[in-house]
Amino acid sequence: MKSVPIVLIPGDGIGVEITLAVKKVIAASGADIKWFERYAGVSAIEKGMDVLPTETIETIEHYKVALKGPCTTPIGKGFTSVNVQLRKALDLYAAVRPVRNLPGVESRFDNVDIIIIRENTEGLYSGVENEVSPGVVMSMKVATDKACTRIARWAFRYATLRRREKITVFHKANIMKVTDGLFIDRAQHIHKTEYPNINYEEVIIDAGCMKLVQDPSQFDILLLENLYGDVVSDLCAGLVGGLGVVPGANFGENQAIFEAVHGSAPDLAGQGVANPLALLMSAVMMLNYLADTNDNSELKTASDRIKRAYNAALSDGCKTRDLGGELGTDKFADAIIERLDG
């Protein structure tokens, strides 16, 4: 089979270290990938480019799939978040973040298996913020029929394909009656008219967060608008060991970008200690997606091997610092490679 083209955005901060580690594991797994490296964020600015170069967007449009390290958006310098821009530019409206326990990774709970589905293009991340008058600033929360309907339909379709049983919407429609009201109205409609066999419930987000930290096993798929999805993703990461172990993917109609939930961790950058697992797990999601869309069983074999290898490494106590271990980024990647079977 010929090699599969993937755009690689190393990103900023720990991004460079963890993408190198992930590339190394993928190469050892037998997956034949041809990487096209492009830039975004601070690293793009440092190379004299825009924060989100057109070339990066066009290359993803062309090759359709990207693996992305976290990108830093300079604060207070008039830059719109590079991540928000990228998701909007490619209309990657559905973010999927599976949150599960891993062997050997201690956490408060051992029964977490939640899929977070986040609307990725609007809400308070509309980017419309301004000063109304001196001392009064405003941020606009946007919800459209189109975006609320398509994310609800996407979530119910996903639930059906993955044989999941229940979708819970976290919302604040008691306060934001119009915007969150539209979000739940569209979800109710899709449930009633298209997917009545999937269980559906609505929980006000503050109570939902309490329920999550009391007993996460009561949730199956969480469907959230943009900001809630961002915040609750990190909360859920805390239920299974932290940001180092939660992968993610952003899907549109034509493209997909796979990236960890975490950011560029400036506090760890350049030290070689960051956990590459969340990005590696995102890469496994990517290989599965490519295996399905290209009907390529070699990629599925490679992704299964990587998954077994990182589970074995964790079970054997090989861990990075965030998980209580001592291995650096590179050594942890080596420990995974040593455990690739077959």
Q: Which residues of the chain form contacts with ligand NAI (CB under 6 A)?
A: 14, 70-73, 83, 243-244, 259, 262-268, 274-275, 278, 322
Query: Given CA atoms 17, 23, 24, 25 in this order, what sign does their dihedral have?
Result: positive
Cα separation, 81 vs 72, whole angstroms = 8
- Residue placing its CB nearer to ligand NAI in the complex, 127 or 181: 127
Helices (H), 51-204: 54-63, 82-89, 145-161, 179-194
How far is Cα 284 from Cα 324, in angstroms, rounded to an integer?
24
Distance CA(192)–CA(311), nearest Å, equals 39
Closest separation in Å from C-beta 321 to ligand NAI: 7
Catalytic residue list contains 172: yes
Q: Closest CB to ligand NAI among 264 and 303?
A: 264
Point out the residue whose Cβ comes nearest to ligand NAI.
Answer: 263
Q: Sign of torsion, CA 125 243 219 256?
A: positive
Closest CA to 55 of 66, 40, 69: 40
In the complex, what is the shortest distance from the CB of residue 291 to ligand NAI, in angstroms, rounded to a whole number?
24
Tell me whether residue 196 or residue 266 sits nearer to ligand NAI (CB atom): 266
Q: How far is the CB of 17 from ligand NAI (least distance, A)?
A: 9
Catalytic residue among 172, 228, 319, 334: 172
Cβ of residue 43: shortest distance to ligand NAI, in angstroms? 12
Angle at 148 between CA 146 and CA 152, to 5 degrees: 115
Name the DSSP letter for residue 254.
S
Catalytic residue among 230, 319, 322, 334: 230
SS3 state at 127: coil
For residues 96 and 157, give the distance between their C-alpha atoms in angstroms, rounded to a whole number.
13
Q: Which is nearer to ligand NAI, 123 or 244 (CB)?
A: 244
Q: Which neighbouring-strand residues pair with 179?
A: none
Active site annotation includes 230: yes
**Going by DSSP bridges, is the β-strand pair 94-100/249-251 parallel, antiparallel, or unpaired?**
antiparallel
Of 206, 215, 292, 316, which residue is the catalytic one?
206
Is 192 a known active-site residue?
no
Integer Cα distance of 48 and 65 in angstroms: 25
d(CA 154, CA 165): 15
Q: Where are the beta strands (DSSP E) in the chain?
A: 4-9, 33-37, 65-68, 94-100, 113-119, 129-133, 136-139, 166-171, 199-204, 221-224, 249-251, 256-259
Cβ at position 73, least distance to ligand NAI in Å: 5
> What is the closest distance, in whole angstroms, from the C-beta atom of residue 184 to ligand NAI in the complex?
26
Q: Considering beta carbons, is residue 18 or 187 the nearer one to ligand NAI?
A: 18
Q: Give the shortest CB-118-to-ligand NAI separation in angstroms.
A: 12
Q: Confirm if 225 and 95 have CB atoms less than 8 A apart.
A: no
Q: Which residues are tagged catalytic?
A: 125, 172, 206, 230
